[in-house]
Structures are given as C-alpha cells and as structure tokens.
Amino acid sequence: MRWIFAIAAAGLLAGCGGGSQAPDRRDDTPAPAASSGDDNATTPDTPAPEPAPSVDLSALPAPYSTADYDAGRRMFRRCGSCHTVTADGGHRVGPNLHGIFGRTAGSADGFDYSDALESADFEWTPEQLDHWLANPREFLPGNRMSFVGLRDEEDRQNVIAYLLVETNAD
C-alpha cells in the first residue's frame, strides 16, 4: 500500500518539475501493462474517445492567436495539481488563476503569497507570464513556486493561449 503513496508523490513532484524517478515496488502487485503506443485504441465494447473541442484563438494577440490550444490544455495538466482556472475553483498550493490577466501580482484574495510576490509591482500580462513561466526563480527571486519552468517558447505560448481562454481574459 505504501508504494501507492510513493507513486502519487513522485507524480506530483514530476508534474511540478521535481524528481521523476519511479519508486521501488514494495509488494507483489504486477506493474501496469506497457502501452501499445496507440492511446486511442478501442475494443468493440469501448467507444472511441470524443475529439477535443476546437477553440478559435484568432481573436487573441500574436503570438497566442496561432498557438495550439489543445497542446496548452495538455501542458497545463502539470499546473493543475497546484492551480485552478475556474471562477469558483478556489486556491490550492498555488493561487486560482481565474482573472489573472490584468491582476496585480500577489493580490488574489485569500491566498498566502511569498513576500517577494506580495511586494512585486507589476500586473500579469501574457508577456509577464511568459517570462515567469520560463524560469519563476530567476524572474522573481524569493517566490515559493517550486516549478522549474518551461524552457520551450512554443510550450509557453500554448499554455498562455489556453489560460487566456480559460481564465476569462478580456
């Protein structure tokens, strides 16, 4: 039973940029079967998965207007263990990101920010978020976010496009 908790902890750490080693198995439970590589494979009793809805990003500012919303949604899953994006989502380890664009850094009601973020003097824009996501520790030394960042510019653009849509940005 302890290995279940170890796997869950390893998954959370990997999602936030922490270690990614798999824990040792502590019982005789067989490991999950290896994937055939076709994650969309179906059996006669299993319907094919619904395709993700198409989202029109053309109204967003460049470069987000040409980003890949679905890739951003998938990439944001890493963030979802710490952040929510819906109006009623509440805070987790990190603040709810609903309404982030145009909000002063460190000002979401009810969240206990680090001193660095509470004293930061900027508003969140897609450009600011891009710099933050590249390397949060370098962008604002002293913040408590454990995420190491997204080095790939395209990944950051996809996540930001997803957030522009999902966080009610106007």
42 located within any domain:
no
pLDDT band at 163 (very low <50, low <70, confident <90, very high): very high
1 located within any domain:
no
pLDDT band at 39 (very low <50, low <70, confident <90, very high): very low
Strand intervals (E) in the chain: none
140 located within any domain:
yes
109 located within any domain:
yes
70 located within any domain:
yes
158 located within any domain:
yes
pLDDT in the model for residue 54: 74
The yes-or-no verdict on residue 109 having pLDDT over 80 is yes
- Average pLDDT, integer, range 56-73: 96
Number of structural domains, the chain? Answer: 1
Structural domain that includes position 103: 64-166
Least confident of 47-56, 96-105, 107-116: 47-56
Instruction: Calculate the average pLDDT of the chain.
Output: 80
Contacts of 66-69 with C-beta under 8 Å, sequence gap 24+, read: 67/154, 67/157, 67/158, 67/160, 67/161, 67/162, 68/158, 68/161, 69/158, 69/161, 69/162, 69/165
pLDDT in the model for residue 168: 83
CA–CA–CA angle 13, 141, 102 (5° rounding): 90
CA–CA–CA angle 42, 44, 45 (5° rounding): 90
d(CA 122, CA 109): 17
The CATH number linked to 158 is 1.10.760.10
